[in-house]
């Protein structure tokens, strides 16, 4: 599962910013490749039982078998979860609740990028439902199990695409296929246009969800569950390959020469999931220009905890999947 790009930071994170995870239950979305696969592998190496949430596919089975080979004796359970279906998410939650009384870490990792302007069967934009609304639903439904942990962690995965205009409520509505179209090839290959605008909305939503949840937990005096945020910088993963396959970007863009390995791209969520010093609201990712480097503790930009962005995200997600009680 390693790329040909040298991995520079993973060993440091595992040695200096990760705790023993024996006895902990870690749930991760999107583990068939890339950052999710690496995270699943490393938390298992530290002793966790890892619940893998993926769409049912040969690729998911192959990844599960590879994880078992990479971590002999590792504890893995695969549960079908299609983030483009609210019913599938709820069925996955029911399966988790049937097998576990506590969840210690939830890593909302899965995502899609710069896809065509299309609706899910539930009617929402495919990017927004996959990246944000379904993760809100998953977190909401698993919160009772997270609240039973001595130190529950909710890790949301954003990206550099979080930076840009504020959230707009229309992206959280049943307007899939009516949110700007597919854009021109020139726009797509230069990371502009409506596809990338929709992607930006989802990645800002992930961040606003984190800080909105932080506010609600603090108001309720809940301190044993902490929300955290991470971003991978620019990492060489299947995310870019999938986007390129549907015309969302140029897979051979010179820009991708700055990419770090999937292993280093995963270090932000790995640190959020396992760093013994992590505190509520911590944000881990490459510092400096943000594209590559060690996953430092970052200062979140103002727009990430802007009251309007938090309100639009929270109300939009609750309208789609129901009230989130903490």
CA distances 237 to 4, 232, 233, 246, 292, Å, are 11, 10, 11, 16, 14
Give the separation between CA 145 and CA 97, rounded to whole angstroms. Answer: 8
Structure tokens at 180: 């700007």
Give the separation between CA 45 and CA 40, rounded to whole angstroms. Answer: 9
Residues taking part in catalysis: 199, 203
Give the separation between CA 138 and CA 165, rounded to whole angstroms. Answer: 26
Give the separation between CA 270 and CA 261, rounded to whole angstroms. Answer: 14
Give 26: exposed, middle or buried? Use CB within 10 Å, 0-12, 13-18, 19+.
buried
Count other Cβ atoms within 10 Å, centred on residue 203.
Answer: 24
DSSP, residue by residue, 108-154: E-----S--S-B-TTSSBHHHIIIIIHHHHHHHHHHHHHTTSTTEEE
SS3 content of the chain, % helix, strand, coil (to 5): 45, 15, 40
> In 3-state terms, what secondary structure has residue 101?
coil
Give the separation between CA 61 and CA 208, rounded to whole angstroms. Answer: 33
Q: Which of 289, 281, 222, 230 is nearest to 259 (CA)?
A: 289
Q: Which of 216, 220, 227, 125 is nearest to 178 (CA)?
A: 125
**Element (H or E) spanning 192, and its range?**
none
Phi and psi torsions of 153, nearest 5° = -130, 135
């Amino acid at each position: 599962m390693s790329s040909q790009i040298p991995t520079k930071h993973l060993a440091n994170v595992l040695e200096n910013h990760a705790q023993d995870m024996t006895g902990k239950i870690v749930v991760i979305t999107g583990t068939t490749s890339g950052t999710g696969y690496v995270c699943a592998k490393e938390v298992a190496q530290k002793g966790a039982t890892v619940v893998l949430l993926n769409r049912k596919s040969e690729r998911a089975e192959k990844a599960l078998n590879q994880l078992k080979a990479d971590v002999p004796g590792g504890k893995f359970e695969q549960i079908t979860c299609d983030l483009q279906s609210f019913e599938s998410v709820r069925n996955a939650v029911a399966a988790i609740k049937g097998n576990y009384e506590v969840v210690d870490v939830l890593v909302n990792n899965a995502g899609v990028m710069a896809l065509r302007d299309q609706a899910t069967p539930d009617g929402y934009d495919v990017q927004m439902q996959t990246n944000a609304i379904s993760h809100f639903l998953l977190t909401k439904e698993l919160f009772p199990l997270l609240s039973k942990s001595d130190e529950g962690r909710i890790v949301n995965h954003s990206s550099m695409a979080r930076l840009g205009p504020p959230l707009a409520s229309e992206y959280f509505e049943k307007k899939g296929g009516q949110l700007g179209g597919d854009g021109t090839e020139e726009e797509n290959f230069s990371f502009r246009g409506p596809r990338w605008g929709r992607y930006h909305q989802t990645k800002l939503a992930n961040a606003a969800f984190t800080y909105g949840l932080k506010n609600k937990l603090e108001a309720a005096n809940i301190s044993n569950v902490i929300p955290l945020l991470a971003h991978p910088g620019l990492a060489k993963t299947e995310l870019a390959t999938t986007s390129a396959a549907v015309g969302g970007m140029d897979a051979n863009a010179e820009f991708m020469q700055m990419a770090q390995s999937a292993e280093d791209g995963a270090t932000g969520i790995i640190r959020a999931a396992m760093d013994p010093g992590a505190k509520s609201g911590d944000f881990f990712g490459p510092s400096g220009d943000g594209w590559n480097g060690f996953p430092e503790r970052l200062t979140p930009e103002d727009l990430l905890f802007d009251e309007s962005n938090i309100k639009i995200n929270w109300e939009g997600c609750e309208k789609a999947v129901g009230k989130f009680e903490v």
